[in-house]
Amino acid sequence: MTTERLYLSSIEAAYEKEFTATVTKIEENKIALNRTLFYPLGGGQNWDLGVLDGPNGQLNVTEVRGRDIIEHTVDDVFELEVGDEVTGLIDFERRYAHMKMHTAQHLVSGIAYELFDGVRTVGNQIHTDRSRIDFHPIQFSEEMLFQLQSEVNGKIKQGLDVTDSQMTREEINAIMPQERTNMDLLPAFINDLRVVTIGDQQDMCPCAGTHVRNISEIGELEFTGKKSKGKGKQRVSYILK
């Protein structure tokens, strides 16, 4: 049974902390549910942590993975059975840090594309205290990074709303260049996309991650380093303050 991803129903859903669900599968210390708020590892974003409260006690969720069926790794199943109802509570401090970091990544990628001749984002890793973005093709100078940081923080102060919508490939391709939305990195069989938009198309990108409702929540971004990752590829690290 496919797991319903509750956090994807809207931008607002990413702010929810508690849910109820039914156990659909148990395999060793991995539990699948019919629905979940827990974000699984994917799209460069790390998984959520939290607890599942079942009929025989509370289980600590230590890892979440999966695509169609999301599996929650716990420390002990406590005789939990298929069909049992559980209450899940996510670690919202961790979730919210990921929301801010991931939205910041979209903003940085969109502004970098505009500033530096359509430079592409070809990878990212979202963590609670630090994150990184891989760009290609580019070699950032200190002046270029300072310009990018200034532009990003200036935009954050404008307080643009973040929205999501369902679009087809054709619909988003008619608005944004494919190299900006990284459409070629998505499996060809996926046609219906969840698209996250900042402001009036300041950035528009297919994404299944969790995001804040307004970029003012990001705070202040600071680049902490850059590193060459091969021919024309550079990795830029950042924190939020």
CATH number at residue 139: 3.30.980.10
Q: State mean pLDDT over 23-31.
A: 96
The conformation of residue 42, written as its DSSP 8-state character, comes to: B
pLDDT score of 157: 98
From CA 109, how far away is CA 122, in angstroms rounded?
Answer: 10
Q: Is the pLDDT of residue 178 over 90?
A: no
Provide the mean pLDDT of the chain.
95
User: What are the tokens at 100?
Assistant: 């801010």
Q: State mean pLDDT over 116-134.
A: 96
- What pTM value is reported for the model? 0.95
Claim to verify: residue 78 and residue 135 sit in the same structural domain: no
Contact (CB, 8 A) for 235 and 134: yes
Q: State mean pLDDT over 196-222.
A: 96
* Residue range 52-100, pLDDT digits in tens: 999 989 999 999 999 999 999 998 877 799 999 999 999 999 999 999 9
From CA 95, how far away is CA 58, in angstroms rounded?
Answer: 20
Claim to verify: residue 139 and residue 59 sit in the same structural domain: no
pLDDT score of 186: 80
Claim to verify: residue 132 and residue 205 sit in the same structural domain: yes
The residue segments making up the domain with residue 197 are: 95-240
From CA 194, how far away is CA 211, in angstroms rounded?
Answer: 12
Claim to verify: residue 149 and residue 178 sit in the same structural domain: yes
Claim to verify: residue 230 and residue 128 sit in the same structural domain: yes
Q: Is the pLDDT of residue 185 over 80?
A: no
Query: Structurally, how many domains does the chain consist of?
Result: 2
Claim to verify: residue 102 and residue 198 sit in the same structural domain: yes
Claim to verify: residue 68 and residue 187 sit in the same structural domain: no
Please give the backbone phi and psi of residue 119, each rounded to the nearest 5 degrees, phi first: -60, 140
Sign of CA dihedral 101, 107, 108, 110: positive
Q: Is the pLDDT of residue 47 over 80?
A: yes
